[in-house]
Amino acid sequence: MDYLATNDIQDIVESDREHVWHHLIQHKPFETNEPRIIVEGKGMRVWDQKGKEHIDAVSGGVWTVNVGYGRERIANAVRDQLVKLNYFAQSAGSIPGAIFAEMLLDKMPGMKRVYYSNSGSEANEKVFKMVRQISHNKHGGNKSKILYRHRDYHGTTITTLSAGGQEQRNAQYGPYTPGFVEIPHCLEYRNQFDTAEDYGAACVKATEEVILREGPDTIGLICLEPITAGGGVITPPKGYWEGIQALCAKYEILLHIDEVVCGLGRTGTWFGYQHYGVKPDFVTMAKGVASGYAAISCTVTTEAVFDMFKDNASDPMSYFRDISTFGGCTAGPAAAIENMKIIEEENLLENCTKMGEYCLGLLNDLKSKHKVVGDVRGKGLFLGAELVKDRDTKEPVDEKLVQAVVGDCMANGVIIGATNRSVPGFNNTLCLSPALICTKDDLDKIVGAIDAALTRVFA
């Protein structure tokens, strides 16, 4: 890279240490240690400032680089688009915006409109604003409350944190936006109900109790991750989605699925909700939409939702009065078009399903070998392993030990993740989300590194 030719990498490290505020990290250790700089990526691998190679088992750290690094075809498409037209506000359309919307909706039967912005948080905020406006315009101010689930995450802004079910992400950032109400999580391994009912039914019943307590006429939306990500890789129990969908129909509550992590193939279908036959009113997506080659997020709605914002053209306040400046950047949809073509042409959904099953098998082998692995779960290439002190009590291991496993893997050239400052006492799930291009050999190396790390840390 040219800019490295004129700068010694050590100068870059020092500039970073002096001036850059990294995300989600305590900086005190950088007074004595070097921050990590990732310099280059190709396929499943990245190289740091020391030239050390790592297999990236978390797609850019946070489930993003679904098609892998170094895709010249995406870079070329973005470059060509930037030269032709880099930007115009989305009050007008763009060629890549129209093309990608059509390609995307083709994968989402029942959905009809795409609203562009540039982060997962922003895409979710759009839904919340739409629901509040529907409440004003259609329900006389009723149906403004939004239900969210314990352990789910929907973003970093104050309002998306208000819909956040992870106490440690939220703590110290209040006061929050009013009108958000929590429902219980659906992690069967940590069944919180003392009932003979099956777990899915118990979760749905508990959700209905919240609806009845708040009053169905106060609730406009339920917002859920299809599979909870940062809250512990939580696959829903049997019957859960059918029950939630039925509650939405019974109490006239709109359903919002946050596909920021699962979207664009992570679980082996285009979207996570498509495993469960769910019919959403809103779907949001970001990370994997362009695999991090450009910033893009989408808020996708049904035509019925869209119609509510155009059916009263004589009222100058009735349409969606919202803009995202960078939602007009054409690089996002230009990158997203190529990203989707790559997933299709290389059969990456199929590879995701096959490699996901293989990896789940490897993780189950780890569970047989290491008593500290209490539960293994996930779908496609979105997997987690929960670490416990004791399989009977399910007491979580100390999170320092979880981080020691992550650190050991990193030292041995494999980047894995773990739930982090999420649910107090439960930051104990190792997370894997390799790119959809991964091979059995990559997965053997990744899980082999975890195996060795567990042996060393819990010897």
Ligand X SMILES: Cc1ncc(COP(=O)(O)O)c(C=O)c1O
**Token pair of 309 as six digits:** 């914002």
128 part of the interface to ligand X, by CB under 6 A? no
185 part of the interface to ligand X, by CB under 6 A? no
261 part of the interface to ligand X, by CB under 6 A? yes
Find all residues with CB under 8 Å of 322, minimum gap 6, and list them: 126, 129
300 or 366, CB closer to ligand X? 300
124 or 302, CB closer to ligand X? 124
Distance CA 117, CA 130 (A): 14
Find all residues with CB under 8 Å of 158, minimum gap 6, and list them: 173, 176, 177
How many residues touch ligand X under the rule CB under 6 A: the total is: 16
Interface residue with ligand X, options 46, 57, 62, 223 (CB under 6 A): 62
DSSP codes, 169-233: HHTTS-SPPSSEEEE----GGG-----SS-HHHHHHHHHHHHHHHH-GGGEEEEEE-SSB-TTT-
260 or 366, CB closer to ligand X? 260
232 part of the interface to ligand X, by CB under 6 A? no
Q: How far is the CB of 3 from ligand X (least distance, A)?
A: 26
- Measured at CB, which residue is nearest to ligand X? 120
Question: Considering only 78-86, 96-104, 241-249, 254-262, which stretch makes contact with ligand X by CB under 6 A?
Answer: 254-262
Distance CA 4, CA 11 (A): 10
Interface residue with ligand X, options 41, 96, 97, 155 (CB under 6 A): 155
**Tokens 């098998």, located at residue:** 361
443 part of the interface to ligand X, by CB under 6 A? no
154 part of the interface to ligand X, by CB under 6 A? yes
Enumerate the β-bridge partners of residue 87: 329
Task: At 165, give phi and psi (nearest 5°).
Answer: -100, 25
**Tokens 């749905």, located at residue:** 204
156 part of the interface to ligand X, by CB under 6 A? yes
230 part of the interface to ligand X, by CB under 6 A? yes
Task: Give the x/- contact pattern for ligand X in 96-125, rule: CB under 6 A.
Answer: -----------------------xxx--x-
Host H or E run for residue 393: none
Q: What size, in residues, is the chain?
A: 459
**Token pair of 257 as six digits:** 């699925």
Interface residue with ligand X, options 125, 225, 338, 442 (CB under 6 A): 225
Enumerate the β-bridge partners of residue 407: none
Contact between 210 and 204 (Cβ < 8 Å): no
259 or 408, CB closer to ligand X? 259
Q: How far is the CB of 261 from ligand X (least distance, A)?
A: 5
Pairing outcome for strands 429-432 and 45-48:
unpaired
List residues near ligand X by CB under 6 A: 62, 119-121, 124, 153-156, 225, 229-230, 258, 260-261, 286
